[in-house]
Amino acid sequence: MANGSRHTTAVAAGALVLLGALTSCGTESGSGTAGPSPRPSASAGRPAGNSPHSAVPSDAAGSTNDRSPASAGRTDRPASRCRTAELSAAVGRMDPGAGQRNFPVVLTNVSSRTCTLYGYPGAAFVDAAGEQLGRDPERTPGDPAAVTLRPGASAWAGLRYASPGVSGARTATPVALLVTPPDERDPLKVPWKAGAVPVSGNASSVFLTVLRSGTGP
């Protein structure tokens, strides 16, 4: 065979081999349709609930992941401090003394769990605008003790002041008494229906005792 023919045949054979290789690569890519391969999701590999746009983190209280029979419907919790939202407040009937007026300030557990109160409540007389009348009550000496309140149980603290008619102190008539449970910030508002209270001048102090079990003396 002439040298020219041999060269032409070799080139043609090489082209056929190259074309076959390219065809083989195309069929190994998958579906055979042109286009990029799908990208993984932006959240792939990220733990459930930890997405940057997740409203509730995976370790939040009340997670729907907690479905074990031991936790389903469980409502019992160890006793801890009573929160304002778990209590109601009331002022009991006046117990007049020698030149004094005495009232039990009662806190009642209205929640479904047992909780405790310890120490003194806070108290403040306020007018219709919510402004405090007089000074903060003074704490009488006492030995605080934890009072355990089951649902529906109560504790009380004594509130007293000198009768304004006897002491001569300047008075004002409150609209309400704000009662704050120990170690809490939010008060409970109790309508005040016992008339004028001392707010300034001699013998205008109001006193509070420690909380004890019950609704009054």
Q: Are strands 80-81 and 115-117 parallel, antiparallel or unpaired?
A: parallel
- Give bridge partners of residue 100 from the DSSP assignment: 162
List, as one string, the DSSP characters of the chain. --HHHHHHHHHHHHHHHHHHHHHHHHHTTSSSS-SPPPPPPTTTTSPTT-STT-SS-TT-TT-TT---TTTTT------EEPPGGGEEEEE---EE-SSEEEEEEEEEE-SSS-EEE-S--EEEEE-TTS-EESPPPEEPP-----EEE-TT-EEEEEEEEE-HHHH--EEE--SEEEEE-TT-SS-EEEE--S--EEEESTT--EEEPPPEESS--
Residue ranges in the chain modelled with pLDDT below 70:
1-79
Positive or negative, the CA dihedral 40, 43, 48, 53 is: negative
Report yes or no: 182 and 138 within 8 Å, Cβ to Cβ. no
pTM of the model: 0.64
Residue 83, both tokens: 């929160």
Distance of alpha carbon 154 from alpha carbon 156, whole angstroms: 7
> Which pLDDT score is estimated for 18?
42
> Which pLDDT score is estimated for 59?
30
Cα atoms in the 13 Å half-sphere on the side-chain side of 142: 17
- Give pLDDT tens digits for 70-88: 333 334 445 699 999 999 9
> Which pLDDT score is estimated for 190?
98
Positive or negative, the CA dihedral 27, 32, 36, 42 is: negative
Report yes or no: 106 and 216 within 8 Å, Cβ to Cβ. yes
> Which pLDDT score is estimated for 137?
95
- Contacts of 67 by beta carbon, 8 Å cutoff, 6+ apart: none
> Which pLDDT score is estimated for 105?
98
Distance of alpha carbon 102 from alpha carbon 97, whole angstroms: 7
Domains and CATH numbers, the chain: 92-213 (2.60.40)
